[in-house]
Structure 1
Amino acid sequence: MTAPVAVTGLGLITPAGGDVESTWSAVCHGVSTATPDPALTGLPVDFSCRVRDASDALDQRIGRAAWRMPRNTKLAVLAAREAVHDAGLDPSTWNADRVAVVIGCGLGASAVHEEQARRLAEMGADMVSALTIPQVLLNMAAGEVSIDLKAHGPSLAPATACASGATAIAVARDLLASGQCDIAVAGGTEAAISRLVTTGFWRLGALSSRTDAVTEASRPFAADRDGFVLGEGAGILVLEREEHAAARGARSRARLVGCGSTSDAHHPTAPDPGANGAESALRTALAQAGLATHEVNHVNAHGTSTSLNDAGEAALITRLLAHRPSVTAPKGVLGHSLGAAGAVEAALTVLAVEHRTVPPIANLHAPALEFDIDCVTERPRQQDIRVAVSHSFGFGGHNVVLALTRAS
């Protein structure tokens, strides 16, 4: 067994809202945030799930340093501030050398890439921004969060595609376990909705093409699912060893009791059809926690609304969790925020455990007939959640499972 850590703070900025409270409320309401996207006009898929705040609004919330940050970094900074405040921490008084920052990201500032490439082609080298390189580096969200919080401990930026946010949380847990820090600010961020990225995912066949019914497009585990909706956002958790949190009188919102990370070693974009790597990740997370599979009573599914992912994940749940724990999939509401998704969904899992409430899966009335899983639909379900797992899977065959329990 690995010693559990306390989740003492949460921060969220998503298409459903600019903070934890508004995001949780919208997810429980179970209505998709997808809308037509003017930036994607003319493309085969012209809708997305964007964070509502425009750049100017984000800049006002961040302050003077906003001018140098791309959108994904701004989202990370805002979510980190909320998480640290929620944890009752003050960066002006903490031991900064003992604070780690681990922020995962998958694609990063893709819009910056596209805009600066256009400038180079149309206007010449002198018109390319001097900020291009620092803005597109995948580690810069972690770097800017460290700067904003004045955190001098380890600063890391895992990139495991759509599992990046969950990987960051697992890495942060390891930093705490090894004694390299006392506090870890960990999660994921992404703001990669652009014309090129959207077209790339469309060419892969990964996106829903329901352009005539965009709010019904993302439908995890439905028989007629046809792909995901691109989203964006950031999710940050503050993690501490339980004794450290107790010593300062901090509230623990939930306990992170296990993390499992594996690789399919199968295909660059397709999941292992047998979900063997995902199964190993789930078993590892539970083994670290000293838990048996039958003790899991809630699953926050990766649930992308794609044919292969949902089929493999449903088969995994049926095979290992035959007692049919409740299943939710937030991407029906929020879209797929890629590198941020694992952290956003970890935060939502903490909230489900804390509030004893399972949000419904948007646009799902019943799972496909071949899926023998207990999907929560139509309305939130009140449930005494004792053990929950959050699944995250990424291109390249990355699998991460986080196991969480109630704080008390």
Structure 2
Amino acid sequence: MLHAYLVDDELHTLNMLDMFLVRTGKVVIAGRSGNGFEALEALRLMRPQVWFLDIEMPGMNGLELAEHIQQADPSAAIVFTTAYDQYAIAAFELAAIDYLLKPVEMGRLSRTVDRLEKEIEWRQSAAKTVPEPPQRETLDVYMLGTFRVASSSGSGIAWRTAKVKELFAYLLLHLPNANEVHRDRIIERLWPDEPYEKAKIYLHTCISLLRKNLRQIGFAKILGFEKECYVLDPDQIRSDVHRFEAGFQAGHVGGSTPIAGLEQSLELYRGDLLGKEDYPWAVELSHQLEKTAVVGLLKLSQLYLAEQSGKKAAEAAERAMDLSPYEEEAYRLAMQAYLMMGKHDHVLRTYQELKERLGELQIQPSALTRQLYELIATPGTERQEPEG
């Protein structure tokens, strides 16, 4: 027998649903409430297998109540009862076990109960056969370059929709210090052009799918929800973005030397933040991280020069030039490195590239850079800059 809890602010609907469920002979009514707040009180005392939730209720609607239920009991099955139009029904098909249109019909309810029996039986069987993940299992996330997510044992996430993937990325970038993100802020960023009530439905759908994705690879309790805010558990996640930022904030103390620390931090920067994704809300942070990488590369090139490592200094400077084509110091460091190696033709080439870049901004290289260029001229001959 299935144990079910019913929530609906319409007493007539509540009574009809109660009667029809009992009539199936497969359901025991564990309790019922006329609003979401009463249901939350019941949630502290019991864990019914199934919750039947009305969508439109005053104070706390069914979508919000479902978030609290899934947070407290990820294994709970949810069925929505709704009078919403077709777009909402399509969303609920993704987020819940099933949906019921009001007024509830006995035949349709019987099919829902059959579906619930199969789903709960499958969940119970899966819980017995799938071993618990190791205690130190972590979710490894790569966002600098190609966006990839997988458990430390290699289990990857197959995203159900692109929006679920984007939602996870947004929540992850608020991870440091377990920063909570309010529901309305998420809606503002991810569904800025949608009506608020419709956007809440989309958010709930994506949250439900995200929880399902994470639960399937052993992270049922990684996503928290409280006071209309969502937060990911930082202890269960290793992110290249956060390790990259932490390395610079800590002054590159992770390595045995300043060079080693910089190398370790910069190794994580394999491309723009979420470079292959079209997330407008990530653009500003992407630019900040790129600037941090450029500053780190310039410092690394200077350290290599101090150690007379011309080749490595040139490589670091060239990488900084690729990231920031108008950064004059990067060109100057590359010129110094090539001069150290005796590669005068590379000095000329680098200087010419700098002149062309700065020419686009209608400015000239600084006196310091021009003086460096002059060092390669043959003594006793007239020093000429390359044309251009």
TM bin, normalised by shorter chain, reads under 0.3
Query: Comparing both structures, which one devotes a greater share of its residues to strand?
Result: 1
**What TM-score results when the alignment is normalised by the length of structure 2?**
0.23
**What TM-score results when the alignment is normalised by the length of structure 1?**
0.22
Query: Comparing both structures, which one devotes a greater share of its residues to helix?
Result: 2
Higher relative contact order (CA 8 A, sep 6+): 1
